[in-house]
Every structure is written in C-alpha cells, then in structure tokens.
Amino acid sequence: MNTTHFDLTLDICAEDGTRTRFYQPDEQIGEKTLRQLVSPRLFNQPLLTLASQHSVSAIPTRTIDLLLALTASPPAFPLPPQWLDIAEVNCETIIEEAGLEASPETRDQTKSVVEIHTLGGWMVRLRVELAMAATIREERQFLAHFTDLPVIPFRLLAGGVGFINPPKIGRVTVSPPLKGVSETALQADLIPSLRP
C-alpha cells in the first residue's frame, strides 16, 4: 500500500517584493487551511492570520499580491462563470501549444495564455480555458472585468493552488489577442525599452 506524505507550503508574495514562507506538515491542519484559502472572500478580509503552536502571524491582505499553496493534494476551487480551467504554464508549454490546431472537442473553448504582472514585481503565466464567447462584446468583457474578480485562483505547475489578489495586478497580457479587443486597442509594436 502506497501512502503519500502530506505537507503544505504557503508562499505569500507581497507588494514590496518579499516572499514569506510558512510550512505545515500536519495533514488535518493543512487540509483545513486549504479549505479556508479556497474562498472568493480570501482577499476581502482585512488580515490573513496564520497560527501555529509557537506563534501567530497576521498579514494585511491589501499588501499581498500572490499566495501560493504548494501541496501534493490541491483542493478543487470555484472558477468564475464561463471559465473551464486556469493553470500555471511554463515557456515550453506555450511554444508546444502555439502550432496546435483546434480539435473538434475544443471547438466550444477558447484557450489563451495570460501573463500577469503584479505591483510587487511578481509574474505568473496562466493558460485560461474559457467557454467560447458568443460575441466580440463578451470577449471584451473578459479582459475588462478581469481585475474586478474577488480572487483569481489557479493550479500550480509544481502541484498546488495559487491565488492572485486582483487589485494588485499591474499589467495583463493575453496571447493570442482577443478578437474584440485588438481592434479597439492602441496599435504599437511592443518592444521593451532598455534603460541604463
């Protein structure tokens, strides 16, 4: 009989660029902590309070850009309406998927890679699968209301679940471009500027 050792590592990525790590080896406490994190109200509370038998830490949620819960047993999390899946990806995955044609099974879906930069300098690339938008207006609404969500949950590449605090998003880049957005956006060749 194979048994999997449970552990939970929480990385709290703050607006000042610091990362604070908490570790929980106890399975019952770790699962309870994960259930409390998987909530649309995660960043609505004034403090994120983490306790152990040795200490209690309280972190103002307004200072948290990103929270990563690394575990071999990630919980299911609710997705916004019309979202089918959202998961972290690496550059190799993006390159592999770039040339793939849409299969008949995915005809009613839209897959995009969304690169999110937070105000604290954190960056994450996510593959977002949406139910196919019926109109160009609905595609525009996806991007327009992205930062209005209470929390953006996603599956971690390394196992676990992450949570983005939407008010802390500094920039969102969607690839390929959404049909309804690129026609109304400012047109420019985006070349990163180099400053001495």
Q: pLDDT, tens digit, for every residue of 84-130?
A: 899 999 876 655 554 444 444 444 457 888 899 999 999 999 998 88
Quick check: is 149 in a domain? yes
Q: Domain residues for 111? A: 8-181
In the block, which residue shows the tokens 């000042």? 16
| Distance between CA atoms of residues 72 and 23, nearest Å | 13
Q: Above 60 in pLDDT, residue 77?
A: yes
C-alpha closest to that of 49 among 73, 33, 65: 33
Let me know if residue 22 belongs to a domain: yes
Q: How far apart are CA 147 and CA 102, in angstroms?
A: 28
Q: What is the pLDDT at residue 155? A: 95
Domain assignment of residue 104, yes or no: yes
Q: What is the mean pLDDT of residues 40-64?
A: 91
Within-domain flag for 196: no
- Residue 155's Cβ-side half-sphere holds a number of Cα atoms within 13 Å equal to 17
On whether residue 79 sits in a domain, the answer given is yes
What's the pLDDT band for 62 if we cut at 50, 70, 90?
very high
Joined tokens for residue 56: 């209690």
- Between the alpha carbon of residue 81 and those of residues 29, 125, 129, 155, the distances in Å are 30, 21, 11, 17
Share of the chain above pLDDT 90, in %: 40
Q: Is residue 191 domain-resident?
A: no
| pLDDT the model gives residue 138 | 66
Tell me which DSSP letter residue 161 carries. E
Residue 103 lies in a domain: yes
For residue 167, the model assigns a pLDDT of 94
What tens digit of pLDDT does each residue of 162-184 get? 999 999 999 988 887 666 555 55
0.75 exceeded by the pTM?
A: yes
Question: For residue 166, what are the contacts with CB-CB under 8 A and spacing of at least 6?
Answer: 43, 146, 147, 148, 149, 150, 151, 152
Domains: count for the chain: 1
The answer to whether 12 touches 22, Cβ cutoff 8 Å, is: yes
Quick check: is 2 in a domain? Answer: no
- For the ranges 10-14, 127-131, 170-174, 188-192, the lowest mean pLDDT is seen at 188-192
